[in-house]
Amino acid sequence: MKRWIPLILFAVLVGFFAKGLFLNPREVPSPFIGKPAPAFSLPVVGSTEQTFSPDDMKGKVWLLNVWAPWCVSCRQEHPLLMSLAKERSVTIVGLNWKDRDREAAQLLAQHGNPYVAVPDDLSGKTGIDYGVTGTPETYVIDREGVIRMKHVGPITPEVWAKKFEPKLKELGA
């Protein structure tokens, strides 16, 4: 019996690795799904007097799009976000994450601003509170301020149709 133990352990490990081959690396499970969105109050890009807090969005279904001017993927999804903003299909808040070169205001002035507010997370602490691992990441937050979905990576038309539209419809947005 003792000589079978290494073979059994090896088979179990192979099973775990084989399962991992079929997982989508962009689907990072978030421990925040179904929990209240972490609270914060941050200054808004371009206005040192104005602040934004998730409490400002109570009663609305909205997206928190974590982005940065230095993020190439964020620039790829920007035209789609502009289109969604024009359609007014959903309210989008853009968390400007770790913008050390202070480029957000200029970039949004050049390419358009799809966001109703752009809180400035220079230190990255708010992103950490949300479990951000990189940019872009987008959260769907319901009327009560509960995170209902997290998407890692740029939003494409296909991702929007397959993931976001059904979730927003479910939430009555």
* Any domain includes 142: yes
The reported pLDDT for the residue numbered 24 is 63
* Any domain includes 85: yes
Number of domains in the chain: 1
Cα–Cα distances in angstroms (integers) from residue 127 to residues 28, 107, 134, in the given order: 15, 20, 9
Q: Find the helix or strand (DSSP H, E) in which 17 lies.
A: helix 5-21
* Any domain includes 18: no
CA–CA dist 150, 139 (Å, integer): 4
* Any domain includes 157: yes
Interval 7-64: pLDDT, tens: 888 888 888 778 777 766 656 667 889 999 999 999 999 887 899 999 999 999 999 9
Q: Which CATH number is 140's domain given?
A: 3.40.30.10
Query: Across all residues in the chain, what is the average pLDDT?
Result: 92
* Any domain includes 119: yes
**Closest to 149 (Cα-Cα) out of 63, 25, 83, 74:** 63
CB within 8 Å of 140: residues ≥ 6 apart: 61, 62, 63, 147, 148, 149, 150, 164, 167, 168, 171
* Any domain includes 19: no
Q: Considering only residues 13 and 170, tell me which one the structure prediction assigns the higher pLDDT.
A: 170
Interval 101-128: pLDDT, tens: 889 999 999 999 999 999 999 999 999 9
* Any domain includes 99: yes
* Any domain includes 66: yes
pLDDT over 80 at 69, yes or no: yes
pLDDT over 90 at 2, yes or no: no
Domain that holds residue 96: 32-170
Q: Percent of the chain scored above 90 by pLDDT?
A: 74
CA–CA dist 58, 65 (Å, integer): 17
Q: Find the helix or strand (DSSP H, E) in which 48 lies.
A: strand 47-52
